[in-house]
Homo-oligomer: A and B are copies of this chain.
Amino acid sequence: MSTSTLHPAQRVLLGPGPSPVPARVLEALAKPTLGHLDPQYLEIMDRTSAMLRTVFCTENRLTLPISGTGSAGMEACVVNLVEPGDTMLVVVAGVFGGRMAEVARRAGATVHTIDVAWGETASAEQIQAALEAHPDTKLVGLVHAETSTGAHQPLVEISQVVHQANALLLVDAVTSLGGIELRVDDWQIDACYSGTQKCLSCPPGLSPVTFSPAAEAKIADRATPVQSWYLDLSLIQSYWGGPRSYHHTAPINMTYALHEALAIVLEEGLDARIARHARNHRALRAGTEALGLRYIPERSLTTLNALTVHEGVDDARVRARLLGDWGIEIGAGLGPFAGKAWRIGLMGEGSSRRSVDLVLGALETLLAEQGAPVERGAALAAAAASYDREPAEQGTA
């Protein structure tokens, strides 16, 4: 007798993550489990690291997936780079900046936050001023793609300011890696973490990280042990790198899935993939604005669209109908936007004309049902006009 009742539905995942997973990645996940010291698995690790370097646009030696989800990657970066008493500046412009500050406090850092209104981004001048106020700052952390607000934080000028102050730069790229331009070496990012379940279109479970030579040196020069044994990169790198010393049993099958997801990214090409995310975002933007929805951030991500819900529309009911009748998941608002915003992700496999038309059509129907002033047909027409203005190159979705 089977006690199993495991029959998950086939959703269209257009929320803030996980994003839709291609069949090829799910098939990779189900390949035979190897031992974590099997020569075949060691090769798969090496190829995975190499592909991660290409996607992060880096030559950093220390580039690998942490054996946990994106928040484990955040914690790995912070606890390895911070020693008790170190001063760290964190830009807080949403949930994930706030989380980074909290993780740093728990690691014993003296944390100063640069608080930015939700939906906005920090300027290089703000960072400069904070660095002048706290000249002993060793690490500056901020979120490239704030999943809670949809805001896209520019990094190039900030990186210059941070390095002029002899600090290191830590960047959360959970919702940008593989979907938005992110050039770790060119932009002199010292540590960067992401998740597998966003623009890489792999199931959640691993967190790709990369560390610059300066960040590696900081880790090597620590006076105190990293507070987390599980996330101690000096131990983890001995398993992923040269001596192959056993540390923990890696999540073998999840590595297969990440390997395959990265291969898909490289087959499409990073530039083409970023252009695809931008094109589908602009079409969604044209369509949602035709529905009377408004973008929260001035600088929107192309991967995640945070929109204010019309006054009087029942946010939760619309999302429940989308999931129940269309099988479409979109995200709710968080924090100050709870009940007032939707977050529509077009990430990885989910960034397609099919997704854009599907979610626009369903939202139009549901908004009309709720009495919002929508003109039937206008959203899809606006999206179509956007696609006509910038046709996809042949062979891209």
Contact = CB atoms under 8 A, between A and B. Distances in A.
Interface in A16-35: 17-18, 20-21, 26-35
Interface stretch (A134-142, A160-168, A244-252, A302-310): A244-252
A190 interface: no
A322 to B, nearest CB: 12
A251 B254 CA distance: 9
B204 A36 contact: yes
Interface residues of A, number: 78
A8 interface: yes
Nearest to A203: B253
Interface stretch (A62-70, A177-185, A357-365, A378-386): A62-70
Contacts of A247: 71
A284 to B, nearest CB: 19
A10 B33 CA distance: 8
A230 B35 contact: no
Given A250-B69, A251-B204, A251-B254, A28 B2 contact: no
A106 interface: yes
A172 interface: no
A102 B228 CA distance: 10
Interface stretch (A118-126, A209-217, A255-263): A255-263
A303 to B, nearest CB: 15
Given A13-B35, A38-B329, A70 B103 contact: no
A47 B5 contact: yes
Contact of A106 (B5, B44, B225): B225
A6 B249 contact: no
Nearest to A250: B204
A70 B248 contact: yes
A205 B205 contact: yes
Contact of A251 (B69, B99, B107, B230): B69
Contacts of A68: 67-68, 72, 230
A394 interface: no
Nearest to A205: B251
A6 B31 contact: yes
A106 B229 contact: yes
Given A75-B229, A203-B252, A18 B2 contact: no
A247 to B, nearest CB: 8
A4 interface: yes
Given A44-B8, A251-B203, A3 B229 contact: no
A227 interface: yes
A9 interface: yes
Contact of A6 (B10, B20, B106, B256): B256
Given A2-B267, A44-B6, A228-B75, A253 B35 contact: no
Contact of A34 (B11, B39, B74): B11
12 contacts: A1-B267, A3-B51, A6-B31, A9-B40, A18-B249, A36-B204, A39-B323, A67-B69, A68-B230, A72-B248, A203-B254, A205-B205
